[in-house]
Structure 1
């Protein structure tokens, strides 16, 4: 390689740096909002660019300037460009929180729907791997028992162990629960502790009040940690209840991670067919409202006791 003079090398460096400065200035002149079509919502709102030398982390982003991505209601979000009939489709979309009409940015989803999807996925994971808040159990006066699952990992990989109580749990239920009640209610985390935290404070008291109004006797409620739906069969045998009902967190989806269900069985026993279970599902703030769900479950239990049938045998 030939020797390059110091003057020539300095000239080359200066020309490269000058070219980079020109590109930087042109890039800074572009307004992100102007890239959006007129009349269409922008993924970049109220965004201030930092001045030269300013630390981006020192910018104060107020909530009014940058709403949390989970604050948007997908039922009111319609991002399709140049739709044939915006009003009709948007009106249909308000009836269900489906990810429809979210538009495209080239071959990918737009930024906001993609962030909403990622946030929903994270919430679903948190719901599965978190635990029910002890304060919730304390407020409702629920004592706690556990299945044969030692921890969350065992619970997720061994569903069979989540259907059987451990020895300590069996002992506590025999000691502390009223025997042979008309209805035995208990709460379980299932696959969404977030669902229990969000709903059980309203559902359980509403259920108990409704059953009391019908003159139906209930047993001593409690909480089962790492529980599957099938654990209710063993509990039915232990307590001798005519009807057993579990309020349990459902497998979280990408629309909500806070959906809870009530599974109800008449004269349950270990090995009872799944078709004998009656279920009231989608109990959450944007589905079946918790307080109303409790009253409805009480009414369903009343009918089960009257007909002595549950599941597919029961005609609601």
Structure 2
């Protein structure tokens, strides 16, 4: 009877550091290869990241989650007509489709203080998971400060700079876009928040502030809302966002 030879996994001296990071360190080895378990986990993480890139906004679920804000909700679209075009033509994801331009022009022409935009970005999975409760908490905080709010916008196939196209029509003093971030092999559900003071076509990214890695295993959403409110209040006080607006509130110290 033939015996199956068992190959042991050699431990890695960095093993204790795995308690502090989700990065793929201290995988160990079996002979000259990584262990089968680690190889399979890598493939699973890659599959999650790919699925996130091709995920879609759960419009009905998001609308239900956002109903508690009592704000009108409008669904709009970028000029990228499909996911494949969105990935191949980033420029089209920054521009509004003609019918979306017409829809926004029909809204109340009185500019609000703040416009909140929700876009799929590169991980609608992140938006579907976190945007509903995040925006509900954010709207409550914004109302407590007395700022007026424009209708909520759900953008399909949108990129960060679509904020400027929207700002050129609605003319809010400040725009916030929540967007799914590029998935990594340890984070496929990370949401980002970008704020732009006086958004308008032609702005570049140094005019924005970003809060990244909003998720339970990164920057918890509750903390992220407080951090965002600090930036909002600072932006209105200084009338600027971007590289000249610094985050000095010490929330993460």
- Normalised by the length of structure 1, the TM-score is 0.72
How much has 1:82 moved relative to structure 2? 6.6
Distance of 1:266 and 1:314 partners within structure 2: 11
Which 4+ runs in 1 deviate beyond 4 A? none
Distance of 1:247 and 1:177 partners within structure 2: 22
Number of paired residues?
Answer: 241
Query: 1:149 corresponds to which residue?
Result: 80
**Pairs within 5 Å for 1:284-295:** 284-295=215-226
Q: Which of 71, 76, 96 is the aligned partner of 2:21?
A: 96
Deviations, residues 109-155 of structure 1 (Å, cap 9, x unaligned): 11111111111100111011121112322212532110111111111
Q: Tell me which moved more, 111-120 or 177-186.
A: 177-186
Query: Within the alignment, does 1:229 sit opposite 2:229 as a pair?
Result: no
**Pairs within 5 Å for 1:270-285:** 270-285=201-216
* Higher CA-based Rg: 1
Query: 1:26 corresponds to which residue?
Result: 2
Query: Within the alignment, does 1:242 sit opposite 2:163 as a pair?
Result: no
Query: 1:81 corresponds to which residue?
Result: 11
Deviations, residues 7-61 of structure 1 (Å, cap 9, x unaligned): xxxxxxxxxxxxxxxxxx424xx485xx437xxxxxxxxxxxxxxxxxxxxxxxx
Partner SS state of residue 104, structure 1: coil
Change (3 A) 1:179 1:123: farther
Unaligned runs of 5+ in 1: 1-24, 38-79
Question: Could you tell me whether the CA contact under 8 Å between 1:184 and 1:218 is conserved in 2?
Answer: yes
How much has 1:275 moved relative to structure 2? 0.6
Question: Could you tell me whether the CA contact under 8 Å between 1:232 and 1:246 is conserved in 2?
Answer: yes
Distance of 2:133 and 2:108 partners within structure 1: 22
Q: Which of 131, 139, 151 is the aligned partner of 1:200?
A: 131
Distance of 2:187 and 2:109 partners within structure 1: 36
Q: Which of 31, 37, 41 is the aligned partner of 1:116?
A: 41
How much has 1:177 moved relative to structure 2? 5.4
Partner SS state of residue 76, structure 2: strand
Question: Could you tell me whether the CA contact under 8 Å between 1:206 and 1:295 is conserved in 2?
Answer: no
Query: 2:251 corresponds to which residue?
Result: none
Change (3 A) 1:122 1:179: farther
Question: Could you tell me whether the CA contact under 8 Å between 2:12 and 2:28 is conserved in 1?
Answer: no
Unaligned runs of 5+ in 2: 68-72, 248-253
Q: Tell me which moved more, 287-296 or 256-265.
A: 287-296
Structure richer in helix, relative to its length: 1
Distance of 1:292 and 1:209 partners within structure 2: 15
Q: Which of 289, 296, 311 is the aligned partner of 2:227?
A: 296
Partner SS state of residue 244, structure 1: strand
Distance of 1:249 and 1:144 partners within structure 2: 17
Partner SS state of residue 108, structure 1: coil
Query: 1:52 corresponds to which residue?
Result: none
- Normalised by the length of structure 2, the TM-score is 0.89
Q: Which of 1, 5, 8 is the aligned partner of 1:36?
A: 8
